[in-house]
Amino acid sequence: MQDTDPQRVADLRAVIADFLKKRLDDKLDKIKDDPDDEAKAQDVRAKRDELRRAHAPAAWLEDAARRVAQIQAVTHSLKPIHPDAKGTNLYCPPAGLEALDVVGSHALGEDFAGDVVGNAAALDVYKFLKLAHQEQSLLDLVLAGDADLAAALSDDAQQAADWMASFSGLTRPRGRLASHTLAKQVYWPTGDDPHDDEQYHLLAPLYASSLAHRVWQQIQDDRFSEEAKAARQARHDGQWSDRPVREYPQLAVQQLGGTKPQNISQLNSERRGGNYLLASLPPTWRSLDIRPLLRAESMWKCYERRDEVRQTVWTLLAFLKTDPAKNIETRQRRAELVEVLIDELLQFTAELRTIEPGWSQSPECWLSSAERHWLDPEGVAAACATAGRPLPTDTAERISDAFGLWLNARLRDTHSREPLPMGDPEFLEWRRRMLEEIKADERGDRDDD
């Protein structure tokens, strides 16, 4: 017999007693007394006495241990696929799943909401097992065979063991593993020959209930929380906000369970049947109309017209105008935004380098020599070889200088009454970061994540 902690046992008994008292008080409040009708008053007293007996710890726990077989704790359920499907539901704690590179239930880790399916009339048993003590639910303690919880349930060791065994069955599949004709089934290829019937697995996918609930919570927070509303208002007013604004275009809501969402599962009931469906559409292909920069006096005018560049410069300017504290968080946020601008410049460069080499030698190309070499390296190399001239060796430095000057000019915001004081220290920082990224790109060791 495991040793028990008397104080912890007492604390667990207090948690159980408080739960039962609240349930009893709620039920007693619903019974209305009529002092003018003696017969009714007696009936009311009898009902109240019966409720008190039923909610005595030993009586209620005995009944709960019997009714727990009517429900099952799950993380992956069948009924959301079809409400009349009858088959296996699974309880697979996310932390125990294989870690994959795609989003899945495994990404939830230890912080997940378990679901429950079965007879909705027995959901109070699940609510009981979800009671928490010292950040652990009673269900977790049951599954761990916690001796203190067993002692808190009953002074009779055998009775306590029987109840613990009954409650632990909440997470076990009911009966043998089985699918159903109304469940989905998918033939998944396992070999190279699609004509060979032996090279397939037949999969019976279940609804990832815990993951769907986390998605619902996140989207609800991003759309309706006060913090999200404040962030959208800040964006509208041109103000800075620490909270990012997240949009979910073409979002759909699937209602499960109709007027009785509790018949699907407990979490589905908490969402009133709502389940978000993210847009799953093929991308709309837009062919880039990439043309040589002819009759343009500077590549920077073309670069800064890119949507991502305009938005990032605006965001960085708005952030700096708030006069943020000079700390590591500010430096990291500023660096992240400058990194976006650098990435866009490298992308802009890569696009122009796909044009047939030699375009920079046209009389209509008015770019500086450094910009010509940067955007059309093969064309410039061929022209230098023909003319017997050496290739320039300082192009990376000159482009980095130009980037620092360009960004300083954008951030000074000369249209503002109080333009930001962008000077040599800022120029040197932008130049340094740009040059580092160019060198890393040339070595092929840039971190594109």
The DSSP line for 297-335 is S-HHHHHTTSHHHHHHHHHHHHHHHT---SSHHHHHHHH
Is the backbone of residue 189 left (phi > 0), alpha (psi -120 to 50) or beta? beta
What pLDDT score was predicted for residue 449?
44
Question: pLDDT by residue (tens digit) across 304-328?
Answer: 999 999 999 999 988 888 888 889 9
| Amino acid symbol at 347 | Q
> Residue 53 half-sphere exposure, CB side, CA atoms within 13 Å?
6
The pLDDT of residue 1 is: 47
pLDDT recorded at residue 435: 94
- In b/e form, how buried is each residue of 25-58, taking b as 16+ CB within 10 angstroms? eeeeeeeeeeeeeeeeeeebeeeeeebeeebeee
Q: Across residues 281-302, what is the average pLDDT? A: 82
- pLDDT of amino acid 288: 61
Residue 24 has pLDDT above 50, yes or no: yes
CA torsion sign, 366 to 358 to 306 to 433? negative
CB 334 within 8 A of CB 240: no
pLDDT tens per residue, range 347-373: 999 999 999 999 999 999 999 999 999
Region 424-432: mean pLDDT is 92
Query: For 266-286, what is the mean pLDDT?
Result: 85
What is the pLDDT, as a whole number, of residue 178? 87
State the Cα–Cα distance between residues 68 and 17, nearest whole angstrom: 19
Count helices and strands in the chain by DSSP H and E runs = 17, 10
Averaged pLDDT for residues 133-159:
90
The residue with greater pLDDT, 224 or 418, is 224
Distance CA 200, CA 424 (A): 65
Tally of CB atoms within 10 A around 223: 15
Q: Give the CA count within 13 Å in the CB-facing half-sphere of 128.
A: 31
Mean residue pLDDT across the chain? 88
Instruction: State what percent of residues in the chain have pLDDT above 90.
Output: 53
Backbone CA torsion sign across 408, 411, 415, 421: negative
User: Which token pair is 101?
Assistant: 């590179």
Residue of 61 and 417 predicted with greater confidence: 61
Beta carbons within 8 Å of 73's beta carbon, 6+ residues apart: 91, 114, 115, 116, 126, 129, 139, 170, 171
Query: How many Cα neighbours within 13 Å face the side chain of 142?
Result: 25
Please name every residue paired with 73 in a beta bridge, in sequence order, or none if there are none.
116
Q: State the residue for tokens 């002819």.
A: 294
Per-residue model confidence as pLDDT tens digits over 417-427 = 667 788 898 99
Read out DSSP for 327-378? SHHHHHHHHHHHHHHHHHHHHHHHHHTTSPTTGGGSTT----HHHHHHH-HH
Residue with token string 């998605």: 215
pLDDT of 285 over the 70 cut: no
Neighbours of 109 (CB within 10 A): 12
Do residues 441 and 339 lie in contact, with contact meaning Cβ atoms separated by under 8 Å? Answer: no
Please give the distance of CA 387 from its chain centroid, rounded to a whole number.
58
Mean pLDDT of 326-353: 92
